[in-house]
Structure 1
């Protein structure tokens, strides 16, 4: 077994040397574990032998710093290291290549963040333009006992949603009614907005980095260097309105405690001569001033004002707005006037922050993106919004149900033409990774109502033909039985049978064909039986299942038959031809069939399927054909809502589905579909080629999509399929327009990002993947329960599937402990998991 030095040396080979800051970080990690004995390893890693910088850097590294050896192991694993004891020699070229990949990814990430920020600014500007002055009777302002100022606006929630393309939410709760609009500025102007409704629910606009260092001011800030100016800087809007009204000083809200230092430094840079007073909030549990406020005041040479509620403070009272309500504006003004330098403030770190390190990332992971709700065509978007408001299911799940119904209704009526010789079906394979109980069956039921009604009508209309067929078949069977009996008797009596055999052969060609009755919705069929019904009964169908474990865990997906069935489903997605030979029953051929698949599967079931398939699920391209969604659960937040009296948007959706189904199906006497081709318009084709090529460039080694190149290679095809579906649903005819394709491509790109998230985590070592799943569950639990302490027995009882096993849970917890994300502490005979407060720290408004 290798020793610890070998393990660390092996891990170091996967850490790019980088610049000065990276060398310092690694020095801290090594020194914390090995002390002075780690210097040789560090020099070996950075290819240095005692130069002046190395000596000073190593000397500055502390053995008791926050960066520990666990961080090094996590970063090495994120770069591909496997802690399996196998020594790998990394060449200098390999190390240089890893560094290049890291830098290239960072550049792409920076460009994407810049694009998101620009989009956020555009939407924020549009909302401000559509908003009106905030009125004194706004519910939030009246609840807080404050008056509006000129820098606050308001807008109706519906109008904001129309501009944004999605309904703003706080966690899983929709913002409703009149929304207070709080413009957030960074150095270069407005960067985003905070929206607040009357129940204190709040939401910032989407866009990474748009809020960092941003602030809102109670009034327009003056020019100059700040000579004679006093600025108040605090966390929330209500706090700053109360403080500014009490003192007549301009108030600046950082909108979160962690943002205080950044805003204070920005104000000091703009106003070097100003007096800066930082208004601290109190830690609810201890009554001590928040450490972020103290740090902010010290960082800019400012003063610190602390609200005073006396010795019998109600724990709910934490800020200057609470103080204004309890004791009046004069008490607030007096307390701020007596603010002191933070050095003179006696402060003991609270239990919320004492000893906690900066949490380290578990791995390089793909962040979830907001579902591009506004990319859906209007009729579909409004129906999805209506169903989601009632079911409160994850928005991606609801949208997938709508897309499945769209695909199932249209797939027999059109094929998509991407370019010359590039044509194919429009049917979609959709996969939602979620636990049972997310209400997929309910959502499917809403969007397939017209399909079920169509099936019922067709079944009723076909009853006379079915009865006639039964009579014809009975007569044919009787004739066949008679001929066989005569042949048997003649053969037994040594009489000639040639004419009888010829009659039997002719009769076999005259066997009555059963009438083809449209039946689109299929149950959890085995793949082979699904192929049979598509070949013999109706050539267009769909499997919509909220319990896809029946599919992924079924006998039809057993080890012996999995390769055959994956290939069969792939051919059905492609609309190809497949002959299936049977020994004990009739062989058949599937030609020109069209298939939609929309499944919900639990994460552990899918992982088990991957294990059983031995990589075939990826290797055969089976899962690459699926548009994957991995939404956050809404369970626990779906408080009862009375169903609406009417469903106008859903009714419009189902009317359009019914109209499409009523069109004649292009099917020949052999039961083979021959749908007409739907082309891309010239502009849409140019956009499709750009979309295709942008993805293709990222499939190369080191590219952003290299690890999911199987999925990514199908993304342009899926974008074209979606575009064709949207065009037919909304317009009925005509080439796919540029606008339609752009919406479809955004949705396809979102699903590709979801696939990157899931498959990227799937490729992690088991202990890191388990830790990531547990980390998500713990953070979600703490936010929901308004706590950061979780009993270990609660984790084992209710935590993620697969982590209720003691050994797996202990391994995952150890990973989180090493990353500084949790602690495991004893409470008598029990053990609790404490979550690093930085991970659950919320904004204060």
Structure 2
């Protein structure tokens, strides 16, 4: 993966209040990257609502609310802490379903033992009657009737799946209307487990395929009808690099990654200072309550055998806005357009935005059709991910190493020195504690910064080297260090 420019802040403010307040509360208390938190909320919204709702696009196609998400973040970014906090209602739901499944499995074993004993007895009767030359019609009818009442093996109807093989991916989806989420805060589990080897199956499920089949060598067919699948995992940059090297061409060429909201937020490590220990959660419980409400409704409908989902539609104003956005996106596919090198993601852009809009509509408990305001909010969220997709996959936005290091160093010097009232930093301390090593890379970055008139150098009494910060530059750094060269702004 190329060296990258840091992204802009994640648009948490575009979520409706029940989501926004909870997400900002998690960012504030956990001090994890804002995009990591925002994407974890989207993951849980998708997993909670996809079994109950679909969305009808302005083009007339009915699509799932399911999302695919990929977070790239270093070790220590508190991925697990964020996941465990936000996904708590999913764990509670799955645990209750597993308790029920265990009881049903125990009862099934007992009933199956009885059924087998009766089955064996009837077959023995047929053997004796046949040996004695007596009619078997009556016993055969009993055997036929007995076969019809063989106890049905219960299913583990949990939503979250992690360490699955490519074969068990289909097993998890088997049946009608299954809703599952392949999600993990340690994405290597998902990658090595085999789920991503089934990109064709996952693509079709994301598209809302009515039926998928897998014919096994033993003559048994696995039939999947109307599945709903959320895919969400967090990986470290080195794991992502390895995935790119091993399967990147296949996953990009198959259109799998075009169906993702991807984020690679800057680290918050080194800035996470604690000011209080008695944390109070005021807003997250409200989001959890909405999640639990949706999951409970899904559980009731599943138990009742109801597989049909409710279909959300857009208002007249939202449809007009959607068409306008589609035309804007189309105009940006030309050779000189912003989307020309990420046409695969551009082809899914409006559909993903429609799904996000539907999720916002559901979680904010709005009635009627999806409003133009909700669609605009979704567009702003997906636009951030559009820039991320281009930032990660487009060679046009990669940076020379010294420029990328200079950006990191600029941020570090601003936070650790300028913001503390210091206009200088000892070079050895920056090398020891700063974000750029070894010394050769630090020197290259400082040379670039000197050429850009951002810093200069001085020598202390004992020969120690100091980095002098240019006040004219560092007064402006706080509002500009995350900007993208060229200042591209989508007109949406």
With normalisation by structure 2, the TM-score equals: 0.78
Partner of 1:320 in structure 2? none
1:457 Cα deviation from its structure 2 partner: 3.8
For the pair 1:737 / 2:371, whether they are aligned, the reply is yes
Partner of 1:710 in structure 2? 344
Partner of 1:243 in structure 2? none
For the pair 1:695 / 2:329, whether they are aligned, the reply is yes
Partner of 2:427 in structure 1? 789
Partner of 1:423 in structure 2? 62
1:724 Cα deviation from its structure 2 partner: 0.8
Partner of 2:201 in structure 1? 568
Among 167, 187, 194, the residue aligned to 1:556: 194
Structure 1 residues 319-359: Cα deviation after superposition (integer angstroms, max 9, x where no partner): xxxxxxxxxxxxxxxxxxxxxxxxxxxxxxxxxxxxxxxxx
For the pair 1:445 / 2:77, whether they are aligned, the reply is no
Query: Is contact 1:390–1:643 with CA below 8 Å preserved after alignment?
Result: no
Partner of 1:524 in structure 2? 163
Partner of 1:723 in structure 2? 357
Among 238, 246, 250, the residue aligned to 1:612: 246
Structure 1 residues 764-816: Cα deviation after superposition (integer angstroms, max 9, x where no partner): 5xxx5655654444444444554473689869x9769xxx8xxxx97998799
Cα gap change, 1:645/1:780 in structure 2, threshold over 3 Å: closer, same or farther?
Answer: closer
Distance 1:798 1:568 in 2: 41
For the pair 1:650 / 2:288, whether they are aligned, the reply is no
Query: Is contact 2:55–2:65 with CA below 8 Å preserved after alignment?
Result: yes
Partner of 2:482 in structure 1? none
Structure 1 residues 23-49: Cα deviation after superposition (integer angstroms, max 9, x where no partner): xxxxxxxxxxxxxxxxxxxxxxxxxxx
Partner of 1:843 in structure 2? 475
Query: Is contact 2:176–2:227 with CA below 8 Å preserved after alignment?
Result: no
Distance 1:711 1:580 in 2: 28
Larger radius of gyration: 1
For the pair 1:682 / 2:316, whether they are aligned, the reply is yes
For the pair 1:454 / 2:93, whether they are aligned, the reply is yes
1:736 Cα deviation from its structure 2 partner: 0.6
Q: Secondary structure at the match of 2:283?
A: helix
Distance 2:127 2:401 in 1: 69
Q: Secondary structure at the match of 1:513?
A: coil
Quick check: 499-508 or 439-448, which moved more? 499-508
Among 236, 239, 252, the residue aligned to 1:602: 236
Among 3, 9, 16, the residue aligned to 1:377: 16
Structure 1 residues 96-145: Cα deviation after superposition (integer angstroms, max 9, x where no partner): xxxxxxxxxxxxxxxxxxxxxxxxxxxxxxxxxxxxxxxxxxxxxxxxxx
Partner of 1:540 in structure 2? 179
Partner of 1:23 in structure 2? none
Gaps of 5+ in 2: 418-424, 479-492
Partner of 1:622 in structure 2? 256
Partner of 1:432 in structure 2? 71
Q: Secondary structure at the match of 2:474?
A: coil
Cα gap change, 1:728/1:505 in structure 2, threshold over 3 Å: closer, same or farther?
Answer: same
Q: Secondary structure at the match of 2:380?
A: helix
Distance 2:283 2:411 in 1: 33
Cα gap change, 1:667/1:574 in structure 2, threshold over 3 Å: closer, same or farther?
Answer: farther
Cα gap change, 1:838/1:591 in structure 2, threshold over 3 Å: closer, same or farther?
Answer: farther
Cα gap change, 1:536/1:841 in structure 2, threshold over 3 Å: closer, same or farther?
Answer: same
Cα gap change, 1:372/1:729 in structure 2, threshold over 3 Å: closer, same or farther?
Answer: same
Partner of 1:403 in structure 2? 42
Distance 2:120 2:471 in 1: 77
Partner of 2:272 in structure 1? 638
Cα gap change, 1:437/1:815 in structure 2, threshold over 3 Å: closer, same or farther?
Answer: closer
Query: Is contact 2:33–2:268 with CA below 8 Å preserved after alignment?
Result: yes
Partner of 1:475 in structure 2? 114
Alignment of 1:226-245 (within 5 A): none
Among 362, 375, 385, the residue aligned to 1:751: 385
RMSD across aligned positions (CA): 4.5
1:619 Cα deviation from its structure 2 partner: 0.6
Cα gap change, 1:659/1:671 in structure 2, threshold over 3 Å: closer, same or farther?
Answer: closer
Cα gap change, 1:468/1:647 in structure 2, threshold over 3 Å: closer, same or farther?
Answer: same
Distance 1:840 1:547 in 2: 43
Query: Is contact 1:542–1:596 with CA below 8 Å preserved after alignment?
Result: yes
Distance 2:350 2:6 in 1: 22
1:689 Cα deviation from its structure 2 partner: 1.8
1:646 Cα deviation from its structure 2 partner: 3.3
Cα gap change, 1:651/1:511 in structure 2, threshold over 3 Å: closer, same or farther?
Answer: same
Structure 1 residues 415-456: Cα deviation after superposition (integer angstroms, max 9, x where no partner): 010125311100111111111221122122222222333333
Query: Is contact 2:64–2:208 with CA below 8 Å preserved after alignment?
Result: yes
1:380 Cα deviation from its structure 2 partner: 0.6
Query: Is contact 1:548–1:600 with CA below 8 Å preserved after alignment?
Result: yes
Higher relative contact order (CA 8 A, sep 6+): 2
The count of aligned residue pairs is: 460
Distance 1:386 1:421 in 2: 38
Cα gap change, 1:729/1:502 in structure 2, threshold over 3 Å: closer, same or farther?
Answer: same
Distance 1:572 1:533 in 2: 12
1:711 Cα deviation from its structure 2 partner: 1.4
Q: Secondary structure at the match of 1:590?
A: strand
Gaps of 5+ in 1: 1-361
Cα gap change, 1:429/1:508 in structure 2, threshold over 3 Å: closer, same or farther?
Answer: farther
Cα gap change, 1:555/1:445 in structure 2, threshold over 3 Å: closer, same or farther?
Answer: closer
Query: Is contact 1:386–1:650 with CA below 8 Å preserved after alignment?
Result: yes
Query: Is contact 2:25–2:283 with CA below 8 Å preserved after alignment?
Result: yes
